Amino acid sequence: MNQPPNPAAQPQAALPGCWWHPNRPTGLSCSRCGRPACPDCLREAPVGFHCTDCVHSGAQQQRRQQRGYQEAGFGQRTVFGARLSQSVLVTQAILAVNVLVFLITVVQAGSLNDNELSSLFQYGTLYGDATLGHNEWWRVLTSGFLHFGPIHIAVNMFSLWMMGRSLEQVTGRGRYLALYFVSMLGASAAVLLFGDPAGFPGTAGASGALFGLMGAYAVTVLKLRLNPTGLIITLALNAFITFGIPGISIWAHAGGLVTGALLTVALLYAPQVNQARYQAIGIAIIAVAIIGLIIYKGSQFPPETCQFIQYRQGPYYTCG
């Protein structure tokens, strides 16, 4: 026989020591860098196991990539294409401007409840004859920052705070500003087109823009198939206020609601490729159409002569 019946066992190769604990022999290694590692120095990964150094360096690289991704304008976005944010700076600024303007009218009129007698109020309220016949076009926007008394501004500012915060966060500042002011423009256009041009005491208040936010809320709920209970309650309550309380401008509310809904359709249904560009085009088309209707209405309105007269111990702006 060439071989003994019980050959001696061949010696096994010695196991390498852990890279971080050399006194610990191990048959394991990092699937990323290949260095031997004991079980205490390995972490489970999507593929195999990584050592602690690779885990740490991978996390740093991921954070750098994420920062660069966000700085380049990418990152997690809402359904409107806006980056996620908890800021409500625009809502706060609009609310502050409304309150400031109200306080100025109170000081000018010397009355908290009859602040519409102030010159600022008279010169900024939406009078159809002054706007269309006397070319005082600024009234289509300035009227949205004037309010009849403390209850009027308190209700509108509460509604702005409740609806504006959520919409600003999901739409982004730029889209939210466009939604607010174009809705205000649409509300004024509806008053000028369909309302009484010589109506007294004129149309004022942020409710036209607020109904635009409500229209945006309605389209968003329908688009995302959210629970409509809150929307139904909000619409029912505001419909009761609009038609049940005398002196409320129905056309301003209706114009703001329709404009806000149309703007939101343009924002939500814009193509995903170059979304911001298509959204801007949609907003511009709606705004230009509203301005065109106002100019067309003004071209058909006879010229008016307007002036301040004394009325109830205060100035009153009248046209005739």
Residue 308, phi then psi, degrees to nearest 5: -85, 135
Does the active-site annotation cover 253? yes
CB neighbourhood size of 154 (10 A): 13
Amino acid 143 reads S
Token pair, residue 288, equals 């230009």
Q: Which one from 159, 183, 207, 249 is the annotated catalytic residue?
A: 207
On the CB side of 212, CA atoms within 13 Å amount to 28
Nearest CA-CA partner of 18 in 41, 6, 36 = 36
- The angle at the Cα of 86, spanning 92 to 170, to the nearest 5 degrees, equals 90
Tokens of 249: 């401008």
Q: How many CB atoms lie within 10 A of CB 302?
A: 7
Cβ-proximal residues to 70 (8 Å cutoff; 6+ apart), any chain: 83
Q: Which of 50, 147, 152, 253 is catalytic?
A: 253
Task: Mark whether 147 is an active-site residue.
Answer: no
CB 255 within 8 A of CB 189: yes
HEC-encoded secondary structure of 66-116? HHHHHHCCCCCECCCCCECCCCCHHHHHHHHHHHHHHHHHHHHHCCCCCHH
Measured CA to CA, the distance from residue 273 to residue 58 in angstroms comes to 32
Please identify every residue annotated as catalytic.
207, 253
